Amino acid sequence: MSTTPDAVTQQTPFKSTWPLALCAGLLGIGQNGLLVVLPQLVSMTGLSLSAWAGLLMFGSMLFLPASPWWGRQAEIRGCKFVVLAALLGYLASFAVLALVVWSMASGKLGVAGGMAGLIVSRTLYGLTVSGMVPAAQTWAMQRAGTENRMAALASISSGLSCGRLLGPPLAAAALSLHPQAPLWLMALAPLLALMTVVRQPNDPPLPPVAHQSTRLQLNMLPYLLLALLLAACISLMQLGLSPHLKPLFPENTTQISHHVAWLLSLAAVSTLLAQFLVVRPQRLSAGGLLAVAAVLLVCGLALMSLPGLVTFYIGIVVTSLGSAMATPGYQLLLNDRLSTGKGAGVIATSHTLGYGLSALLVPLVSGLYGEQALIGVALALAAGFLALSGGVCWRKAR
- DSSP per residue over 41-60, as a string? HHHHH---HHHHHHHHHHHH
Q: What is the pLDDT of residue 88?
A: 94
Q: Which pLDDT tens digit goes with each residue over 15-67? A: 677 888 888 888 778 777 777 787 788 888 988 877 887 788 788 889 888 88
- CA torsion, points 264, 267, 273, 278, in degrees to nearest 10? -150
Phi/psi at 338 (5° precision): -125, 145
Is 392 within 8 Å of 226 (Cβ atoms)? Answer: yes
Burial readout 360-387 (b: 16 or more C-beta within 10 A, e: otherwise):
ebbeebbeeeebbbbbbbbbebbbbbbe
Average pLDDT over every residue of 82-106: 93
Query: What rounded mean pLDDT belongs to the chain?
Result: 84
Statement: residue 187 has pLDDT above 60 = yes
Is 132 within 8 Å of 23 (Cβ atoms)? Answer: yes
Pick from 43-47, 69-73, 99-103, 254-258: least confident: 254-258
Q: What is the pLDDT of residue 2?
A: 36
Q: What is the pLDDT of residue 211?
A: 57
Pick from 199-203, 242-246, 313-317: least confident: 199-203
Q: What is the pLDDT of residue 14?
A: 52
Q: Please tell me the distance from the alpha carbon of residue 233 to that of residue 264, in angstroms, as a whole number.
A: 15
Q: Is the pTM of this model over 0.85?
A: no
The answer for residues whose C-beta is within 8 angstroms of residue 386's C-beta and 6 or more apart is 294, 295, 297, 298
Average pLDDT over every residue of 61-83: 86
Average pLDDT over every residue of 255-261: 78
Share of the chain above pLDDT 70, in %: 91
Q: What does the DSSP assignment read for 77-138?
A: H-HHHHHHHHHHHHHHHHHHHHHHHHHHHTTSS-HHHHHHHHHHHHHHIIIIITTHHHHHHH
Higher-confidence residue: 303 or 349?
303
- CA torsion, points 271, 276, 280, 284, in degrees to nearest 10? -70
Higher-confidence residue: 204 or 235?
235
Higher-confidence residue: 269 or 9?
269
Of 185, 41, 71, 210, nearest to 131 by C-alpha is 71
230 DSSP assignment: H
The answer for residues whose C-beta is within 8 angstroms of residue 155's C-beta and 6 or more apart is 17, 18, 20, 21, 140, 280
Q: Which pLDDT tens digit goes with each residue over 381-393? A: 999 999 999 999 8
Q: What is the pLDDT of residue 343?
A: 77
- 3 state SS of 213: strand
Q: What is the pLDDT of residue 8?
A: 39
Highest mean pLDDT out of 122-131, 187-196, 361-370 = 122-131
Average pLDDT over every residue of 146-157: 80
Q: What is the pLDDT of residue 6?
A: 41
Q: Which pLDDT tens digit goes with each residue over 352-366? A: 888 888 878 888 888
